[in-house]
Amino acid sequence: MSFPKDFLWGAAAAAYQIEGGAMEDGRGPSIWDVYSHDKRIDPKTGRMNIDNGDTGDVACDHYHRYKEDVALMKKIGLKAYRLSISWSRVLPEGKGEVNEKGLDFYSDLVDELLKAGIEPYITLFHWDLPQALMNLGGWSNPDSPDWFAEYVKVVTDRLSDRVTHWITFNEPQCHVIIGHLLGECAPKLKLPCQEVFQVMHRVFLAHGKAVQTIRKYSKVPCKVGYAPCATEVYPVTDREEDVKAARKAAFDTSAENLWNTSWWIDPIILGKYPEDGVKAFAEYFPESLLKEEDLKLISQPLDFLGINLYRGAGIKHAEGGYVQAENKTGFDRTAFKWPVTPRILHYMPKFLSERYQLPILITENGLSMADWVSLDGKVHDPQRIDFMHRYLLELSKAIEEGIDVIGYFAWSIMDNYEWSQGYGERFGLIHVDFETQKRTLKDSAYWYQEVITTNGKSLQGL
């Protein structure tokens, strides 16, 4: 077992989940500020938008404590850190006047990372659309791709003399489906399916324009990628018939299922919508989205494909194709009740690499646990260590089979604001006391430190 000598060992976070400083230094509100501050009880569910009425107003106070946080990243030994930028901190109205103090924060953060020997990987959109743009229709507005390109140019102009790795969108399917179709997160819309396809298409156009903008204005050579999640599946056995069945399931759009990988990556990389999917949604899918000039813009050449992988479904061969295997009684699961399925880190990079012919970057992987500071002052999280160990062993199998996997980002660098779950889930390598903002490296952080120092060789010592 071995990892490439230049393998990228990192961790990730997102702006709204850690920064805080929500109303400081000229930052404008985002849709998540508005959503989290809506404390009304839904009469149907009996719940507020966010568990416990939590907001990201302070979160991990990273806006003020970034130097401390980068020092902890350095102590762990991270080679890279994946951060996102708050669009409304840079452009409070989403377009127009630039907030220089907001840009200064990200410039200073990049400098601090580079000083610590940590490569910044910048994600340009991680769900927090400026509310000012939402007031203009958000992604339903035909001008939204141009708004995004304007924002990307501002960031590129300021940071691209030092930042060389960019990611356009994080998990757009979550933002679009959960936020615009199901209405279960910001911006809490329940749009007709036909309009949801329009929103999806504009996000794709925004991606294409962003790639063009970065390549045109970057001051140094750079690499650009994209980070959706995927239809997370794995074969229940290594038999060829099960592997073939899982591969089919990973990209199958023959049913009305907007979550499937093909919907969210085929247009971006292959320059076309999945034909079976278009047929399945024929009643709702607008033919205008198939314009050749749009698809050409959307499918700008990329340097890598990021993918967020957490939990998956076991697939086995069946007559006529495949079936999903049932979870065993009392199956292993995380605090978030997600099943523990390490094999996805072997097979999903393999399936994605075969189909899209790009280097694969694991942009998120991790789990939530019931972590707390023990009487000895430490945070013992053996299940996180075991989880990461199992998943990384599976990832090493993909690499040994020749799959070009360039790096792994643990989610998350620290406990943070877990969207609609508020502060109720802890995904971090670093424990955060949200009352005092005290940081404590968990046992998993020290374990990951050894993995990084040995470039994965320590994983062999079971």
Q: Is 170 annotated as a binding residue?
A: yes
Longest dimension (CA), the chain: 63
Any binding-site annotation on 310? Answer: yes
Cβ atoms of residues 292 and 278 within 8 Å: no
pLDDT tier at 167, thresholds 50, 70, 90: very high
Confidence at 44, pLDDT banded by 50, 70, 90? confident
- What pLDDT, on the 0 to 100 scale, is given for residue 1? 67
Whether residue 317 is predicted with pLDDT greater than 90 in this model: the reply is yes
Q: Under CATH, domain 8-460 is a member of which superfamily? A: Glycosidases (3.20.20.80)
Q: What count of other Cβ atoms lies within 10 Å of the Cβ of residue 238?
A: 11
CA 340 to CA 241: how far, in whole Å? Answer: 23
Using the predicted structure, report yes or no on whether residue 177 has a pLDDT greater than 90. yes
Average pLDDT of the segment spanning 17-28: 98
Hey, what amino acid is at 25? D
Q: What is the pLDDT of residue 2?
A: 77
**What DSSP line would sit under 341-360, residue for residue?**
-TTHHHHHHHHHHHHH-S-E
Q: Is the pLDDT of residue 101 over 80?
A: yes
Arithmetic mean of pLDDT over the chain: 97
Q: What is the mean pLDDT of residues 166-179?
A: 98
Question: Is the predicted pLDDT of residue 45 greater than 80, yes or no?
Answer: yes
- 418 carries a ligand binding annotation: yes
Catalytic residue among 112, 171, 232, 394: 171
The string of pLDDT tens digits covering residues 290-309 is 999 999 999 999 999 999 99
Instruction: Average the pLDDT over 343-358 and give the result.
Output: 98
Q: Are 174 and 258 in contact (CB under 8 A)?
A: no
The answer to whether the annotation marks 292 as part of a ligand binding site is: no
Catalytic choice (19, 112, 232, 364): 364
Q: What is d(CA 458, CA 257) in angstroms, rounded to the nearest whole number? A: 41
pLDDT at 149 over 80: yes
pLDDT level of residue 209 (50, 70, 90 thresholds): very high
Instruction: Check residue 394 and give its pLDDT.
Output: 98
Q: What predicted TM-score, i.e. pTM, was given to this entire model?
A: 0.98
For 202, the token pair is 């504009």
Cα→Cα distances 197→76, 135, 265, Å: 42, 20, 14
The Cα–Cα gap between 279 and 262 comes to 14
Binned at pLDDT 50, 70 and 90, residue 462 comes out as low
Q: Measured in whole angstroms, how far is the alpha carbon of residue 115 from the centre of its chain?
A: 25
Partner residues linked to 170 by β-bridges: 227
Query: Residue 335: its pLDDT value, please?
Result: 97
Report the range of poorest mean pLDDT among 1-5, 159-163, 246-250. 1-5
Domain boundaries, the chain: 8-460
Q: Helix axis angle, 62-76 relative to 443-453, nearest 10°? A: 50
User: How far is residue 346 from each of residues 10, 174, 351, 401, measured CA to CA in Å?
Assistant: 19, 23, 9, 10
pLDDT reported for residue 461: 76
Task: Give the pLDDT mean for 374-395.
Answer: 98
308 is annotated as contributing to ligand binding: no
Q: Is 364 assigned a catalytic role?
A: yes
% of the chain surpassing 90 pLDDT? 98
Q: Is 425 a catalytic residue?
A: no
Question: What residue has token string 């390549």?
Answer: 215
